[in-house]
Amino acid sequence: MRLTLLGTGDAVGTPLVGCDCPRCSHAKETGLSRLRTSLLIENGGKHILIDSSPDLRSQLLRSGSPRIDAVVWTHGHFDHFIGFGEFYRVQKIPPVYAAPQVLDYCAGYFRFLSFERNTIEPYTAFELFGVTITPFIVTHPPAFTCGMLFETGKSRIGFTSDTNRNIPKESLDLLHDLDLLLVDALVPEGFTIEKHMNYADACSLAQQLAPKEFRCVHISHFMPGDLPHLGTDGETFEFA
């Protein structure tokens, strides 16, 4: 299984439109931007997209134009589902998997598209193309939001891009023996955002769960660029 970070940015991305801060200026000069956070999982020639960001078109082009076989939505925020319309006239609209309240909300927005809708339940594993996916509840008020555990062969990957540090115990209990943890770090240490973690929160969660590797995602332009464990757009990971 191969996992690609299609984007590692927050809801507005880096560079932020109209911003001339050092991070945004650097991103504009170098082209090293942070598109909105989403993941591509490839297993056995099939492609699963985790969240359909507003940057989906450029993310698909940058990653070699894979045909997407399924989409999983974590929650109904703009930056995680709104790019789904980019499949229109590009490929068959892929089937979507999401918790009932997420599916209702997001699919309602896309009522002009015809596609297969599948409900999933927190803490109930389902399988897509050889990847076992277990949604787990995180805390991202007021939106009902799931993180996802991906398992294939002997590998375990935990992902949550939108949560505060107060993740339910039942969810944390799932995230043992991870090969990779991908976790929300919106802002640097010292910032407090009610619905997200800061860098120190992300590091403390990683210390608690002790994954083999971890990367921060959903990173805003406030974050310095030189901290350890920051994910980068296009970064890929291979798993047995």
d(CA 56, CA 82): 9
Indicate the burial class of 30 (C-beta count within 10 angstroms; 0-12, 13-18, 19 or more): exposed
32 binds Zn ion (CB under 5 A): no
Whole-number Cα distances in Å, 135 to 93, 116, 129, 164, 215: 23, 19, 16, 17, 19
Least separation in angstroms between CB 162 and Zn ion? 4
Least separation in angstroms between CB 99 and Zn ion? 14
Indicate the burial class of 224 (C-beta count within 10 angstroms; 0-12, 13-18, 19 or more): exposed
Least separation in angstroms between CB 154 and Zn ion? 30
24 binds Zn ion (CB under 5 A): yes
Q: Interface residues for Zn ion in 135-194 (CB under 5 A)?
A: 162
d(CA 4, CA 50): 10
- Nearer Cβ to Zn ion (78/88): 78
H/E stretch holding 104: helix 100-109
Least separation in angstroms between CB 156 and Zn ion? 23
d(CA 128, CA 120): 12
Least separation in angstroms between CB 10 and Zn ion? 6
HSE-up of residue 197 (Cα within 13 Å, Cβ side): 25
34 binds Zn ion (CB under 5 A): no
Determine the interface stretch with Zn ion among 70-78, 103-111, 163-171, 226-234 (rule: CB under 5 A): 70-78
Determine the interface stretch with Zn ion among 14-22, 58-66, 180-188, 201-209 (rule: CB under 5 A): 14-22
Determine the interface stretch with Zn ion among 71-79, 99-107, 204-212, 228-236 (rule: CB under 5 A): 71-79
- Nearer Cβ to Zn ion (129/144): 144
Query: Encoding tokens for residue 158?
Result: 């935990």
Q: Interface residues for Zn ion in 75-94 (CB under 5 A)?
A: 77, 79
d(CA 5, CA 192): 25
Q: Interface residues for Zn ion in 191-230 (CB under 5 A)?
A: 221
Instruction: Write out the residues near Zn ion by the rule CB under 5 A.
Output: 16, 19, 21, 24, 77, 79, 162, 221
